[in-house]
Amino acid sequence: MDWNDSRNRFALEAVHLAASLVAEIQEEMVSETITKDDRSPVTVADFAAQAVIGYLLEQSFAGEVLVGEEQSDVLRLSAGQDTLERVAGFVSRVVPEVTPERVCDWIDRGGDEPGRKYWALDPIDGTKGFLRRAQYATALAYVEDGEVQLGVLGCPNINPDLQETSPGAGSLLVARRGGGSWIARLSDFDKPDRFSRLSVSKRKDPKDARLLRSFESSHTNTDQIDAFQRELGGEADPVRMDSQVKYALLASGEGEIYLRLLSPQRMDYKEKIWDQAAGSIIVAEAGGRVTDLEGASLDFSQGRTLKGNRGICASNGFLHERALEAIRVVGA
């Protein structure tokens, strides 16, 4: 890993600042009294994180493309002014003297279409985990010619030893193509000597394979995942985790297989590039393998979605072909 590379340093600092700000918003806005349908904390945090990274990209790589999940249209309406003021207030903790108009401009940097080179951002991956004060991640990746070259995950509620905590030291994961995968405390983003190298599990027996499963089921097919585990012969208890934090666990050897099967209610669903880019390279550089359900490499050159791929199969590598075979058998 070239720790002095300008893109590496930018991505680590940007995710550190954005994820730390999101953790503050979670701490201040998400309480036990919040109603189930109140999504205002995650809305504020999403916009604030994307604005911060849009601003930082403008300062460091002004001409480069950002492809993000959010756009500021709703904030520019009169009905969105209260939310915009709140977002601007949080952003001002990172960028003093910010104006609401500038916040909207930074958010809208993420509205670009992917080109040959671009950054992909998910300011909060795992919104329900965020609202439960559980796991979520800020995910940033750099892509060239359809391949992820650099990925960073900021995970405020899980420590580098992969123990859950809320709030805690948090963790920062980074991978560069050919440079391995690494993890450190979130606050140690600028201290290369504090990073430890990650390596996937060496388990090869399907019965020992631990499936990484979501609490959220809307984007997958839980019945087929159950059938998959039976066909695989897996006997280990699954590991349940929100968001791309599952990729962190897979890269760290805390699980062996992670699937994204198509939900029966959304059979035409295509994965968003920002939901997979950072996590996929972190697993690959830790020795694992990430493909679609047919074994094809993920193609990040098709726009804002992985429209050339169907679903996700991620593994420690040793069990990948067996997993693909089980997927075919159950008709996933």
Q: Which residues are catalytic?
A: 46, 127
- Our measurement of the distance from residue 119's CA atom to the centroid of its chain's CA atoms, rounded to an integer in Å, reads 13
- Helix ranges (DSSP H) in 109-185: 127-131
The residues, any chain, with a CB within 8 Å of residue 82's CB and separated by 6 or more, are none
User: Residue 310 phi/psi, 5° resolution?
Assistant: -125, 110
Distance CA 100, CA 90 (A): 11
Q: At CA 306, angle to CA 8 and CA 53, rounded to 5?
A: 35
- Our measurement of the distance from residue 15's CA atom to the centroid of its chain's CA atoms, rounded to an integer in Å, reads 11
Nearest to 90 by CA among 55, 62, 63, 140: 55
Amino acid in position 189: F
**151 CB neighbour count, 10 Å cutoff:** 31
Q: Is the dihedral of CA 241, 242, 247, 252 positive or negative?
A: negative
DSSP at 238: P
